[in-house]
Amino acid sequence: MQQVAGAVVARVRGSRADGHALLRALVADLADVDDASVSIVQRCPDCGGPHGRPVVMEPPRARDIAVSLAHAGELHVAVARRGGRIGVDAEPHEALPGRVEALRALLPASGADALRRWTQIEAVLKADGRGLRVDPAAVVLRDDHAALIAAVPGSARRFEVHDVDLGDALVVSLALEG
């Protein structure tokens, strides 16, 4: 577990259920409550299915904790912080060639740069809350010398984007509402 710009970031190897358990544990730690009391709901705004941006529902003292979760095969990355929207994305460092080619088609980058750029954009779209309902190519990333700042069309929000080192297996990016 590590701190990045006020957010707590951790990873776990295992099933998706292990990733969700890690996310609940981060919330419980921040709220100083038992893991079992933490309820996090994911509901797709389009189909109503059990996926989409996770939101802390219980306990009441944890409702101001923003959370995000990324799955990269059997590795899962969870982040939490009090206040402000947050998004995280992760890709295996050794992504399948087809995956890298697909990302190159979307983004003007190659190899590891394409993976890094993709995780930055996906983290921003998760923090924005609209996810891939927004064209990833429309996300604007600019380096203002102090931080990488992102904007998404149709929103006045701005996000600070951080690269996170969680080991050689993953390329991880974190977006925090600024």
How many structural domains are present in the chain? Answer: 1
What does the alpha-carbon distance between residue 49 and residue 64 come to, in Å, rounded to a whole number?
Answer: 23
pTM above 0.85, yes or no: yes
C-alpha closest to that of 54 among 44, 155, 152: 44
β-pair type (39-42, 7-13): unpaired
For residue 105, pLDDT beyond 80: no
Residue 9 has pLDDT above 70, yes or no: yes
| Residue 108 reports pLDDT greater than 80 | no
The position carrying tokens 């924005």 is 128
Q: How confident is the model at residue 23 (pLDDT cuts 50, 70, 90)?
A: very high
Q: Give the 3-state secondary structure of residue 174.
A: strand
Residues spanned by the domain of 170: 2-177
Q: Which residues pair with 86 in a beta bridge?
A: 176
Tell me if 78 sits within 8 A of 19, measured CB to CB: yes
Q: Tens digits of per-residue pLDDT, 35-81?
A: 999 999 998 888 888 888 899 999 999 999 999 999 999 999 999 99
Q: What is the mean pLDDT of the chain?
A: 90
Among the residue ranges 50-54, 78-82, 150-154, 170-174, the one predicted with the least confidence is: 50-54
Side chain identity at residue 113, one-letter code: D
Residue 104, pLDDT > 80, answer no
